[in-house]
Structure formats: C-alpha cells, structure tokens
Amino acid sequence: MMVGGLSTKLLNICIASFCKVRLLEKAEAIVIDGIRLGLIPDVVTYNTLVSAYSRFVSLDAAYSVIHRMKEAGISPNVITYNSLMSGATQNCLLSRSLDLFEEMLLAGVHPNLWSYNILMHCFFKLGKPDEANKVFQDILLSNLTPHPATLNIMINGLCNNGYIDNALMLYRNLQRHGFVPQLVTYNILINWLCKTRRLRQARRILKELGESGHEPSLITYTTVMKCCFRSNKYDKGLQIMSVMMGKGYTFDGYAYCTVVAALVKTGRIEEANACMEQTIRNGVELDLVAYNTLLNMYCREGKFEAAYKLLDEMENGGLLFDKYTHTIIIDGLCKAGNISGAQKHLHYMKMMGFHENLVALNCMIDGLCKAGQIDRAMELYKSMETKDSFTYTSLVHNLCKAGRFRLASKLMMKCLRHGKKIPKATQRAVFDGLYSSGFTDEARKLWWKIRVARILH
C-alpha cells in the first residue's frame, strides 16, 4: 500500500531497524503512526514484532502480537513460528521451542529449512545430539538444500556435546563434497579446539583460515587471545590485543571482558581500570558478564562501596544476579577477611536458589582456612555434595600450613583416588610434612599410594 510516497514496505524497514536495537516502543509508535497515515500493517510488520518480542521480551508478549495479527485477519506463517522458536531457543526455553514446532505442524504450516535449523540447534542445546542428527539426516534426505548455517549448527552442536572428533570428520567430509567453510565455521572449530586444549589442531585450522582468503574477525582474535590467557600465557595474549588494536578493530564487550579479566587475574588492576574506562567511553553497553567483570575488579581492589553501588545499578537495570555474581562477592569478601559477610552472602545466595554453587563454596572453604577456621571449613566440606580439586587443594594446603599433616594426607588420597588432580607442590608439602614430623612410615606409604593412584587414574 502506498500513501503519499510512503509504503508499508518502507514502514517495515523502519520498524525492523528499531526492533534490531531493541527500541520496541518506538517500533510500536511507528506502527500507530503508519495506521494514522493509512498504511495497513502486513504479515512482515507483525512478524518483525513477533521476532523482537520473543527474543528480547517474552513469548507471552510475542503471542499478544500474534493475537493482534489474527484480529487484523492475518494468519501466522512459517516465519512467525520460526521467530517464536528462535526466540524460545535463544532464551533457553527449549521444551517450549519443541512444542512450538508441533504447534506449527498442527496449524497446518509447513516447516522450512530455517525451522529445521532451529530445531537442530534446540536439540543440541538440550544435550540431545542424536535427535539433532536425525533432523540433519531428514534435511539431507528431503529436497531441502542445507544452508552453510545448517552445517555450522551441526559442527558447533557436535563440539558442544563433546563430539569434537565427529565434528572434525563432518567438516572434512563436507569439504570433500564441495562445502566451502565460512569464517564462522573456522571460528567454531578454533574455539572448541582451544577450549579442549587441542592446540596443535587449533593452529592447523587457524592456518587453513589464513589460506582461505577470509580475514580473521574480532571473534577469531578474541578466541585466540582467550586461549592464551587460559594457558597462562598472559604476555602473548596481551600481544594479540595490541595486534588487534593495530589492525583497527573496535573492541566490543566480549573482547574487553577477556582483557580486563586477565589483567585483574594477574594483579594489573590499574591497566584493568584503564581498559574498563575505555570500554565505557566506546559506548559498549554493559551486560551481566561485563558487570560481573567490573564487580570482580572492584572486589580485588577492595572497593566494596563501589561494588555495592554497582550491584544496585545492576538490580535497578533489571539484571538478575547469576552464580558468577554471587561467587565474586563471596570470594571478594573472603579475600578482604570479612568472613561473616561472606557467610551472610552465602546464605542469601542459597535462598536465591543457588544451592550447589561449587566455586562459591570453594571460595568459602579457602576463606575459612585462611582465617584460621579450618574446622569450620571441614564442616562445610563434609556438607558438600560435590567436591573438586580446588576444594581438596585449599584444604590440604591449609592443613599442612597448620601442621595437621595426617588429616591432609587422608584428604589428599581421597582426592587422588577419585581421579582428581592435586598440584605437585601440595603433594610435596604433605609428604615433607609427614616426614619431618616423624611420621616416616606414613610418608613412605603415602609415596607409594600416590604412585598407585597415578597409575590407576
């Protein structure tokens, strides 16, 4: 429909641009203005709104648009359902997403390739790679031609479910059948190979990316930089950051958080502060992860007033604290020696539904030990359902410092028998402690037990 040179198509472009930047109220205002001018919203108008509401607000809000759509005599089509499914999948409402697929079939709407792609993604997120693979096989057997994104979802989903070798095999097979990897494909593989410490293979894929003619993106660099930090190669990681800056990449929240977290971890707080200021100057909108990074920086600096102010800011902005937020607060308080504050927050965290936050409990154990309250740390340890090598290392190390070598030895063996690692330095401290305290027989036995555990695990 055209009114004085304006058309619904043009109106839809305006609405889509507001939706893209989450300005849904403005998008709705444009719809109303359009109607006043005689421009009738069409299926594209409604689908654009459904997509934005299901991604950024809620499925209920998206359904209210569908209700308006139906009232206007327009039936939801495959794009409407795909938008709902995509929003549900992105927001981890996975069973809702599967229900929507059924609902689409019941409504007599035929799924298209995009519907199957979302369905595959959803199954992978649910940890059901076999189901996802069935969908993929159905696509191959049907008359639908897979989109490169279909293959990327498959490769990433396999990696995400622990099937990296299968993903690599699929990648090679597809290449033999003429598939030209996209930059995204390379980034997916590099990321998972880095995460699983298969660095030789990661380098190979990185080399293939270089030979492909694609220019590595900000995402590629962030992935490699993070990989360096993960391997404690901080200087190399920071060198990559300099290369990125030299190449003129504009850092986004992901890149900044990676750098700030590494600087904080290595105690380079001033540089971290400068980096964070640059982030804010660049207009990067802070999300939950960025807030947590900033919070950790304040806690490490001992700036608790600023930290609490930040927590208020997060709450006022409608951000819900997650397990990272709670852990950072508890660890920060412990490291500042405020054990009772940390315990109060631990209690609050549990009330908020985070009962088994292993990392937070480990921080509490370490905090109690360092405050000289090892028996209370042991009580907490006994009450925990799961423990990891951090739990044991903290306890064993601090028991040694307190001269309680026999208990340290007992705990350490329990840890090693469960196949969990204990740093060599901690093992040595237990052994030396037993020996120098006169428990020479026990020390010798421990040495053999460590060797046996090493062979068995």
Partner DNA sequence: TTAGGGTTAG
In the complex, which residues of this chain contact DNA (CB under 7 A)? 86, 90, 113-114, 117-118, 121, 147-150, 152-153, 156, 182-184, 187-188, 191, 195, 217-220, 222-223, 226, 229, 252-255, 257-258, 261, 264-265, 287-290, 292-293, 296, 322-325, 327-328, 331, 357-360, 362-363, 366, 388-390, 393-394, 397, 423, 425-426
Measured in degrees and rounded to the nearest 5, phi and psi for residue 3 equal -130, 115
Shortest Cβ 209–DNA spacing (Å): 10
Nearer of residues 69 and 329 to DNA, judged by Cβ = 329
Q: Supply the minimum distance, in Å, between the C-beta of residue 9 and DNA.
A: 19
| Paired tokens of 6 | 């304006």
Cα dihedral 260, 264, 270, 271, rounded to 10, equals -40
- Taking the least distance from each CB to DNA, the nearer of 308 and 444 is 308
> Which residue's CB is nearer to DNA, number 425 or number 456?
425
- Cβ 134 to DNA shortest distance, Å: 17
CA distance 203 to 190: 8
The amino acid at residue 253 is G
CA–CA distances in Å: residue 305 to residues 128, 309, 311, 317: 45, 6, 10, 18
- Looking at the Cβ atoms of 38 and 423, the one nearer to DNA is 423
> Shortest gap between Cβ of 90 and DNA (angstroms)?
6
Residue placing its CB nearer to DNA in the complex, 254 or 304? 254
CB nearer to DNA: pick between 74 and 244: 244
Alpha helices in 111-182 (DSSP H): 113-125, 129-141, 148-160, 164-176
Using CA atoms, how far residue 25 sits from 18, 53, 137, 316, 391, in Å, is: 9, 11, 42, 20, 49
Least separation in angstroms between residue 170's CB and DNA is 14
> What tokens were used for 410?
């007992």
**Identity of the residue, 27 or 139, whose beta carbon is nearer to DNA in the bound complex:** 139
Q: Tokens representing 446? A: 């421990």
Looking at the Cβ atoms of 33 and 287, the one nearer to DNA is: 287
CA-CA distances (angstroms) from residue 344 to 191, 349, 358, 361, 371? 38, 9, 17, 13, 16
| Number of helical H runs and strand E runs in the chain | 26, 2
- Give the separation between CA 229 and CA 352, rounded to whole angstroms: 32
Residue number, 220 or 343, with CB nearest to DNA: 220
Q: Which residues is 7 bridged to in the sheet?
A: 2
Closest by alpha carbon to 202, among 181, 232, 224, 234?
A: 224
Structure-token match 């380079």, residue found: 268
- The residue among 233 and 445 lying less far from DNA, judged by its C-beta, is 233
Q: How far is the CB of 226 from DNA (least distance, A)?
A: 4
Length of the chain: 457
> Residue 107: how many CA atoms within 13 Å on its side-chain side?
15
For the CB of residue 32, give the shortest distance to DNA in the complex, in Å.
27
Q: Phi and psi for 384 in degrees, rounded to 5?
A: -85, 140
Least distance from DNA to the Cβ atom of residue 378, Å: 16
- State in angstroms the smallest separation of the CB of 30 from DNA: 21
Cβ-count burial 6-39 (b if 16+ within 10 Å, e if not): eebeebbebbbebbeeeebeebeebbeebeeeeb
Nearer to DNA, 69 or 121 (CB): 121
Contacts made by residues 233-236, CB under 8 angstroms, sequence distance 24+? 234/262, 234/266
* Contact status, residue 367 vs residue 342, Cβ threshold 8 Å: yes
Q: What does the block give as tokens for 416?
A: 């090693």
Q: Which two tokens stand for residue 362?
A: 């480990």
Shortest Å, Cβ 131 to DNA = 16
